[in-house]
Amino acid sequence: MSLIDTLQWRYATKKYDTTKKVDEADVQKIVEAARLAPTSSGLQQFRVLVITNQEIKEKLVDVSFGQEIVKDCSHLLVFASWDKYTEERIDSAFDFATDVRELPRGRFNSYTDKLKSIYLPQSQEENFIHTAKQAYIGMAMSIAQAAELKIDATPMEGFENDKLDEILGLKIKGLSSVLMLPIGYRDEGNDWNASLNKVRIPTEEFVLEIK
């Protein structure tokens, strides 16, 4: 199956089969797709929490406006990004990159200095807006990988971020939640969305060409 075929297959699952669990090897592939996602300056400004603890999942339903897919899914992925940029975070990312590439540390000092001059004077809110964008890229990769494996996924923004952050202890890690991605297998007989036609605007309306 091509990527286009798998994207045609997937949909935002509204009801999960609680009796079916995703194999851990497949979960790792879905997470790995996010880890390999491109990010601005290669900084990987987000992390992925993989939640299987049922008690925690049930607590998160309460801060997700009662959406039961949060507890009924096999695994709940939470995408959380840096709450702000710091000199240490930028330096650490580039020190790691130069070590992996067997280059001398400091090789990219002029570039990291430029990044610091851009991000460090900004407000924490401005920083978070930028880091959160990277999490969206990662989630897109995870959704595509899940679809390739015929695993259902439901991208979610509908939750109370501050309360979720408190439950998961994200603040102490310097992270803030951006998105949730329940994954599992559809309960097709009880999912009102499963049999509906996929709706996307026509290509000629979607694509604006400049020649």
Indicate whether 46 belongs to any domain: yes
pLDDT in tens, 44-100: 999 999 999 999 999 999 999 999 999 999 999 999 999 999 999 999 999 999 999
Confirm whether 25 is domain-assigned. yes
In-domain check, residue 81: yes
Exposed e or buried b per residue across 47-59, where buried means at least 16 C-beta atoms within 10 angstroms of its C-beta:
bbbebeeeeebeb
Q: Is the pLDDT of residue 1 over 80?
A: no
**CA 157, 136, 200, 186 torsion: positive or negative?**
negative
Domain assignment present for residue 132? The answer is yes
Range 163-184 average pLDDT: 99
* CA–CA distance, 168 with 144 (Å, rounded to integer): 26
Average pLDDT over residues 101-111: 94
CATH number at residue 60: 3.40.109.10
The one-character DSSP state at 201 is: -
Alpha carbon dihedral 159, 57, 138, 44, in 10-degree steps, equals 100
Residue 78 inside a domain? The answer is: yes
Percent of the chain with pLDDT over 90: 99
Among residues 196, 179, 191, 183, the alpha carbon closest in space to that of 143 is found at 183
Residue 56 lies in a domain: yes
**17 lies in some domain:** yes
Angle at the Cα of 20 (from 12 to 13), degrees rounded to 5?
5
Identify whether 114 is part of a domain: no
Q: What is the pLDDT of residue 202?
A: 98
Secondary structure (H, E, C), 87-155:
HHHHHHHHHHHHHHCCCCCCCCHHHHHHHHHHHCCCCHHHHHHHHHHHHHHHHHHHHHHHHHCCCEECC
**Residue 185: domain span:** 3-85+122-206
Q: How does the average pLDDT of the chain come out, rounded? A: 98
**Based on the structure, what is the number of domains in the chain?**
1
